[in-house]
Each structure stands twice: as structure tokens, then as C-alpha cells.
Homo-oligomer: A and B are copies of this chain.
Amino acid sequence: MTNLNNTDNLGSDIPVPEVVIQRLPLYVRVLMQFSSAGEKVISSEQLGTRLQMTPAQIRKDLSYFGRFGKQGRGYDVAMLERQLREILGLDRMWNAAVVGMGRLGRAVVSYPGFAPEGFKISAVFDTSNAIVGKTFSDLRVQSISQLTESVKELDIKIGIVTVPINHAQEVIDALVEAGIKSILNYAPLSPQVPEGVTVRGIDPVLSLQSMTYYIR
């Protein structure tokens, strides 16, 4: 996994822990909320309160990428958001493919939250002949056999897996085979992928299961 921060104008060559990378989008979101509220400067205390973290954790996370704020002066909201977006690669558009056009896949394709954040669903696939050829949200469903070709042609970098659990591993294998290195997996299984491929699961059950610890 490419763990090194190599944004030219920012930071060092220390590998950044994955858990820090996973928090950065939350920082971006909170910064957007503060920005909408007209705030120009934010302290690590304010960030910490919103993210249920200590100010020290916030400062440590950000220190991986260089110096963003001045001691006791807080962070410039707009600048920190811009820099974190650059670090995360959110200063460009990314093409994604959805595999599995059942009820869940159609809901994902029609979700209005992706495009404003720079994620464009450019192609959709299914294994079933009954679904291939249909059109949802202006996208014609292609056969999974066309995956590799379309990934290259459309510069697709992200795969979104919305097939049932019993097909998920084979679909993930096909995405990896096609050169995809970032996979968003809605199937409730923990798939096997080679090194260098990142999978994030969307699974409400896992989230619920990690909360009951605190109330049992």
C-alpha cells in the first residue's frame, strides 16, 4: 500500500497510519461545516469537540503533513480544507464503476451525494442477462465481461461492489484483475485482495456491532 505522503509542497516522508488517512475526510467535512457557518479560524479544541477527539490527537494527525497552524492561533479554515483535499486527492474528478445493478446498485447510482464530491459513476455492470442492456440513471448496464475494456477506456479508478454476498469475492477479483486499486464494498464480507488494493466496507451491521460494546 502506498502509505507515503508525497504531496510536493507538504510534509515529510513518514508513512502515515491508515487510521489517520481515514480521519482526514472527517476533518474536511467539519471544516466545510465551520466554513458554511462563516468561521474563518478553527482551533484544535474546536475540531476535537466535533470529532470526539483530543486536541493533541488532532495536532498529531495533522503534523504528519507539515505545519498548518501557528501555536495558539488556530487553523485557517479555508486553507486547511484546501490542503487536506489536495493531500487526499480530492482536487480532481474520479471515475467509478458500479458492479451489481439490483436494488442496492440502483440506489447507489441514483444517490446525489457522489458527484458534488468529485466521484462520477461512469459505467455500471451486472452478471445477469436479464439486467444487462437496461438503463438506470442514464447508464446502460454492461456485461461484467466488458469490465477490463471499460475500465481502461473510461479511466475508471474506483469499483463499487453492490452484488449479493455470494458473488462479492469473484466480482472483487474481477475488479482487481481489471486494474482497480480502490474498492467500495457493500457486501457483508471481508474480501481477500492483493497488497496495494484498498477496500472499504459499507456495512451498517459492523457499525452497530462496534457501538454495543459501550452500552452492554
Q: By CB atoms of chain B within 10 A, which of A92, A181, A206 has the most? A: A206
Asked if A188 meets B29 with Cβ closer than 8 Å, knowing A87-B213, A211-B182, A214-B182, the reply is yes
Residue with the greatest number of chain B CB neighbours at <10 A, chosen from A103, A200, A204: A204
Q: Mark A179-216, 1 if CB is under 8 A from B, else 0.
A: 00110100011101100001111101111111111111
Tell me the number of copies of this protein: 2
- A200:B205 contact, CB within 8 angstroms: no
What's the least CB distance linking A187 to chain B, in Å?
A: 10
The answer, among B19, B29, B182, for a CB contact under 8 Å with A206, is: B29
Question: Bound complex: CA of A207 vs CA of B210, how far in Å?
Answer: 17
CB distance from A44 to the nearest CB of B (A): 15
**Residue of B at shortest CB range from A27?**
B190
A97 to B26, CA, bound (A): 25
Query: Is A130 an interface residue when CB atoms closer than 8 A count as contact?
Result: no
Is B21 a contact of A89 with CB atoms below 8 Å? no
Q: Which among A105-113, A135-143, A144-152 touches the partner chain?
A: A105-113
- Asked if A129 is at the interface of the complex by the 8 Å CB criterion, the answer is no
Give the interface size bracket for A toward B. 35 or more
* Contact of A74 with B by CB under 8 A: no
Do B213 and A202 touch across chains, with their CB atoms under 8 A apart? no
Question: With A and B bound together, what is the CA distance between A122 and B160 in angstroms?
Answer: 31
Q: Does A11 contact B (CB under 8 A)?
A: no
Q: Which residues of chain A have a CB within 8 Å of any CB of chain B? A: 1-3, 19, 21-22, 24-26, 28-30, 33, 49-52, 87-90, 92, 94, 96, 103, 107-108, 111, 113-114, 117, 119, 157-158, 160, 181-182, 184, 188-190, 192-193, 198-202, 204-216
Nearest 4 A/B pairs, CB to CB: A89-B216, A25-B209, A89-B212, A200-B207
